[in-house]
Amino acid sequence: MDMVMAGVRRKDHCRLVACGLSACVAFSVTQAQARDWKTEAGFSVSSIYSDNGSSDDESGSSEFVTKVSPNLLIKRDGGRARFSFIGSAELTAGGEDVDRFSPRISSSFDTELIENFAYLDTNLQVSQRSIDALGPTNGDDPLNRNSNRTETYTYRIEPYLQKTYQNGNRFKLATFFQGQESSDDSVSGADTSGAEFEVARELAGSKATVSLSADYRDTDTDNSASSFSTIQAGLGYQFTEHFALTGTIGRENNDFETVRDTNDGRIWKVGAVWTPSSRTRLNVGYVDRFFGSTPTLELSHKLKRSVLTLSYSRDLSDSNSLIEGQSTFSDRDAAGDPVDPFTQLVQQLSANSVTEGAFINEKLKLGWSVSGRRSKFGLDISYSNLDYEDGRDDEEVSELGLSFSRQISRVSTLNVGLIGTRSSRGAEEADEYELRLGWDRRLDDDTSVGFLYQFIDRDANVGDSYQENRIQLRFTTRL
């Protein structure tokens, strides 16, 4: 009973803080001069048909829904305050057991309280996530009644002190408070608080930097509690303009459920950063912690018409940290090019499960994009392995994304995409593939129409296996 009441109080608290942040933002907007703000509004209307709307294995029925999505964009970046709000809501008619209202919000308000010293950052996100990585993830429209989606409400408040001196020395002292809640009662809410301290000093004519840092993070969920803390000392030396070495040693003290003999101890890291040009950056390292040793890699290489990125890491994390690091909307398409955040609201959907407990998160990501005069090609490959510390089966998720777009006229664009996901956990396995064929035509600077065909094929030994065809017609306009 105490756990249930704690969950209810946490949900009310999260909603109260979210409403408070929204009220503060609304007041700021009404008090600001119109010329200081960029505002846009509009809406889109979509008609969606599916031959298997309920995602059943063999007995799926045809369904038709109409979706109206009002959109709002507000931005201000100037002076000592920055504000950004991107919001979209889905209002749905037709179909059975369909969510009639589904919001999406990405909002931040950052201000400089004392010039060059005291700051306050706030963030509010309302996003949609998969509950279980092995459950169906078909598409991003109201026909998804497969009980594997939840709306996550997240707020974060971070006051901090930060100062960089003329001699290059710097320090930062920060604390943060964060709350998360989901629309699905089966997903645990969470309250997280923490603090961070860092001080750095430059030596040897600015070629060497010594630093001392410490951080602490405490998370309470409906059913568990955990804490993570580290203290580290670092040394970096810039040998040349393009090459530097770094080293760190420290200790960590953690408290969470685990089957290991220990979950804390010594930390040491070594790394090298090579930037032969402004287009290429390579950061490699080696880290040793209580769960073992692992290399790290970050590579980015840009040419005139292509971009290549590659990264690998293995770190201690939890589900709340994964949610914290994601945004509701993306500002880039599959090819890595910027998109209009108003007319092309690309949703970021996590493939990992929403769960409790700590895990070792192993991640590998590869991205490659090529752009021509009228064509774009994108390749995205990712691999994630969650090694749960409490002895549960590992969860592996592999994703492949291919995208191609071709401007077939001055106002028309053809889009093709293929998305493949393979998930496994113990003896459970699921493969899901989605083919997308789309066409967009711009009627004028503010209005466009589009057509999208989707074919979804799911093969799994957990949950339903099924196939589905969808057709969507869309009209979008800016008011």
With a cut of 90, say whether residue 478 has pLDDT above it: no
Position 9 scores a pLDDT of 45
What are the start-end ranges of the E strands in 183-264? 190-203, 208-221, 225-240, 243-252
Position 3 scores a pLDDT of 41
- What separation in angstroms does the CA of 447 have from each of 215, 218, 408? 49, 48, 18
Provide long-range contacts, Cβ within 8 A and 24+ apart, for 109-113.
Answer: 109/21, 109/24, 109/25, 109/28, 109/81, 109/82, 109/83, 110/81, 110/82, 110/83, 111/80, 111/81, 111/82, 112/80, 112/81
Mean pLDDT calculated for residue range 95-116: 84
With a cut of 50, say whether residue 169 has pLDDT above it: yes
Mean pLDDT calculated for residue range 12-29: 50
Mean pLDDT calculated for residue range 56-65: 73
Position 97 scores a pLDDT of 65
In this prediction, what percent of the chain has a pLDDT beyond 70? 81
Q: Greater confidence, 132 or 345?
A: 132
Mean pLDDT calculated for residue range 81-88: 89
Position 466 scores a pLDDT of 86
With a cut of 90, say whether residue 199 has pLDDT above it: yes
Position 331 scores a pLDDT of 57
With a cut of 70, say whether residue 139 has pLDDT above it: no
When mean pLDDT is compared across 72-76, 98-102, 243-247, 475-479, the lowest value belongs to 98-102
With a cut of 60, say whether residue 30 has pLDDT above it: no
With a cut of 80, say whether residue 137 has pLDDT above it: no
Q: Say whether 8 sits in a helix, a strand or coil.
A: helix
Distance CA 382, CA 92 (A): 33
DSSP annotation of 389 reads T
- What separation in angstroms does the CA of 442 have from each of 73, 228, 377, 400, 439? 20, 51, 21, 30, 10
Q: Greater confidence, 102 or 228?
A: 228
With a cut of 50, say whether residue 10 has pLDDT above it: no
CB-CB contact of 219 with 196 (8 Å): no
Q: What is the pLDDT of residues 425-475, one digit of tens each?
A: 999 999 989 899 999 999 998 899 999 999 989 899 887 788 889 999 999
- Report pTM: 0.85
With a cut of 70, say whether residue 6 has pLDDT above it: no
Mean pLDDT for the chain overall: 84
Position 140 scores a pLDDT of 53
Q: pLDDT grade, residue 145 (50/70/90)? A: low
Q: What is the pLDDT of residues 117-126, one digit of tens each?
A: 999 999 998 8
Name which of 317, 214, 325, 311 is nearest 267 in CA terms. 214
Position 311 scores a pLDDT of 97
Q: pLDDT grade, residue 204 (50/70/90)? A: low
Q: pLDDT grade, residue 5 (50/70/90)? A: very low
Position 209 scores a pLDDT of 93
In this prediction, what percent of the chain has a pLDDT beyond 90? 49
Position 332 scores a pLDDT of 58
With a cut of 70, say whether residue 334 has pLDDT above it: no
Mean pLDDT calculated for residue range 146-167: 86
Q: pLDDT grade, residue 348 (50/70/90)? A: very low
